Chain A
Amino acid sequence: MAQPNRGPRDIVTDSISETAGQAVLDGLDAGFTIDDMAPDNGPKIRGEARFNQEGLDEIVNLSSKGGAIPGQSLVNDPSQPYPWEQPPEFANPKDALDYMTGLVFQPEAMKEIVGALANGAAVADVAMVMLYAKFTEGKFNPDVLMLLAEPVMYLIMAIGEEANIKYNIGDSNDLDELDNEDNEEEIDSKINEFKTVFEGIKNGTTKKGMEPSKITSDKIPQNILDKVKEEGPAIRSLLGKGEE
């Protein structure tokens, strides 16, 4: 465990994402390692959606239940409005976030969230459904819902990380997006490395200053020099033509 050499710096941002990003960079700068912040808990569970006949049947059932006919809401009794047509329970986003955090951290909800992420549901979808469900219950208005989107997503992501799940963030197929970028970067860096070496060979820069007479015995162990002297021409170059 690294010892931080200072306290956290002031951060000025306009979003939770930016704040978290800068906090991570600040933590690294303060002396923490990335392993301190995100310890390795072994291979992750891939949150991939698997075909499930039961689930499909449920969707078909839901969608075949029928819907409202156009104008139906206009004939509702005005004295019995829907919950979302009334003043919301939480007008203050702080209170709404407290409420949502309380719900997300409930053991039952955590269990379901972990299960959903492990089954391939995206963080954004889980957050959206939770927030929309609470909106329809009249807990907050759509504006507060949008303000809560980011923090609730991060709460769900933290649960996913704690459960060691490799989850989708935005849609159900971005599981390997970051890894693919890693691979692309690695391939690019290897290609660049190769190009540099190739250019070096091409320009003869690698040979510069490599005259055999300049090789001093203190650089190479004496036993190797003796072996070279002894075997002489019998030593073949690695790049030389092989035996026919």
Chain B
Amino acid sequence: MGLFKSLKKAFKKVVGGVKKVVKGVVKGVKKVVKKISSSKILKALAIAAAVIVTGGAALTAFGGTMGPGALGKFGTWMMSTSQNVLGGTLFGTGASGVTGFFQGAGNFTTKMLAKPFGFVGGALGSTARVGANIVQRKDLLAAGPAAGGVATTPGAILTAPTPFSAEALSGQLAVADTVSFDPTANAGKGGYINTTVDPLDPTKNIVTPLTKAQEASLPNPYKTNIDKVTGKPKGTAGRIAETVATGTATAVLSGAALQAIQGDPEQQGSMGGLRTETATQFDPLQVYAANRGIAESDISKYFTFGNTASAGNMPLFQQQTIGVPS
């Protein structure tokens, strides 16, 4: 059995364990709270687990369900649970008997894996926004409505942030693309302007200086990021979302495809796993064959055991074997 299949098989056991616990908790909660749907309990469980695993970072990372605001108290309460895990106080101190045993040896996984994780930052419901965009058949990263559920007015200087943008992560409204800083405005003193298309003549722009109140409403990070001399943004520093690019995303994207072709390890005669060593892996072999004037189709006859003369360099499958008396 290949490594991937072995891992997949072991993973299945973990999944089975998780599902078993989920069902156990659902039953346990149903004994306490009558007439409650299982999916709600699952949600509470997932939130609690994420808070414990991340040491509370999930609270700030999501912002919507788990974050500050209405759920601040439960979040804080859960945080203290997490802190207890981290501090090892979950196991008590100086206990004897079974508790003492756990204190010393038990809770290995929980103690080992739960850890504070404070550098994620606070996305303001960005994940929830992506989910809503899927339902509304919008672009995944389309901005949601502004505060209070009101759609952003065309021409407004402040707009709802796009999910996971720097503004969303810092809990700010985004500044419309039409707003800029003009060093020559305000009689050479410089000022913010809003450039919009003239509704009567689309080939022309209307430039309107922002009022004092409008200027005051611009988020500080935006104002500090503007170079007052050139009128242009100082750079991409601080734009958290734009600095992120990981291979994980691609890996996740192909997740469903992988699952479909890797087969079920429990099933006899199932299809083999994804062959990660693709045709490009044959290139060295082709070079090897070309150097020696060997036909590629016959290459297996020329493989050697040990790749140097000192290591044997013997033809593979033809090396000496220990004779077994018949």
Contact = CB atoms under 8 A, between A and B. Distances in A.
Q: Is B one of A's binding partners?
A: yes
B19 interface: yes
A72 B106 CA distance: 44
Contact of B120 (A16, A29, A62, A105): A105
B131 A114 contact: yes
Given A14-B109, A41-B128, A151-B53, A71 B303 contact: yes
B113 A94 contact: yes
Contacts of B109: 14-16, 147, 150
B84 A8 contact: yes
Contact of A106 (B21, B128, B246, B277): B246
Contacts of A94: 112-113, 115
B287 interface: no
B122 to A, nearest CB: 11
A115 B65 contact: no
Interface in A42-70: 44-45, 49, 55, 58-59, 62-63, 65-69
Given A14-B108, A21-B28, A66 B275 contact: yes
A178 to B, nearest CB: 4
B77 A34 contact: no
Given A49-B256, A142-B3, A59 B11 contact: no
Interface string A89-114: 00001100110011111111111111
Contacts of A165: 131, 134
A110 B7 contact: no
A112 to B, nearest CB: 4
A130 B252 contact: yes
A65 B113 CA distance: 39
Contact of B66 (A72, A103, A112, A162): A162
B217 interface: no
Given A10-B91, A93-B112, A121 B52 contact: no
A14 B106 contact: yes
B43 A71 contact: no
A10 B44 CA distance: 19
Interface stretch (B55-63, B172-180, B197-205, B221-229): B55-63
User: What size tier do the contact residues of chain A reach?
Assistant: 35 or more
Nearest to A44: B39
Contacts of B247: 133, 137
B29 A55 contact: no
Contacts of A114: 127, 130-131, 134, 140
Given A114-B134, A182-B37, A130 B251 contact: yes
Given A11-B90, A166-B39, A129 B252 contact: yes
Interface stretch (A153-161, A206-214, A217-225): A153-161
B184 interface: no
A36 B71 CA distance: 7
Given A154-B53, A163-B131, A169-B19, A108 B249 contact: yes
B59 to A, nearest CB: 10
A149 B53 contact: no
A154 B57 CA distance: 13
Residue of A28, A107, A124 most packed against chain B (CB within 10 A)? A107
B279 interface: yes
Interface in A147-206: 147-151, 153-155, 157-166, 169-170, 172, 174, 178-179, 181-182, 185
B17 interface: yes
A12 B58 CA distance: 22
A24 B279 contact: no
Contact of A111 (B249, B251, B254): B249
Given A10-B91, A109-B248, A149 B11 contact: yes
Contacts of A86: none
B171 to A, nearest CB: 14
Interface of B: 3-4, 6-8, 10-12, 14-19, 21-26, 28-30, 32-33, 36-50, 52-54, 57-58, 61-62, 64-66, 70-71, 73-74, 77-78, 80-81, 84-85, 89-92, 99, 102, 106-110, 112-115, 117, 119-120, 123, 126-128, 130-132, 134-135, 140-141, 163-164, 169, 240-241, 244-261, 272, 274-279, 281-282, 285, 300, 303-304, 307, 316
Given A106-B248, A162-B127, 16 more contacts: A12-B102, A18-B21, A19-B52, A20-B21, A21-B48, A23-B48, A23-B81, A41-B64, A101-B57, A106-B246, A114-B140, A121-B255, A128-B8, A158-B58, A178-B26, A179-B39
30 contacts: A7-B77, A11-B84, A12-B102, A14-B107, A14-B108, A17-B18, A17-B22, A24-B41, A24-B48, A25-B25, A34-B41, A37-B44, A49-B256, A62-B257, A67-B277, A68-B277, A69-B300, A72-B277, A97-B115, A101-B54, A101-B120, A107-B240, A108-B246, A109-B246, A118-B134, A142-B6, A145-B7, A151-B113, A153-B18, A163-B131
What 7 pairs between A and B have smallest CB-CB spacing? A67-B275, A163-B131, A107-B164, A158-B50, A20-B49, A17-B21, A178-B38
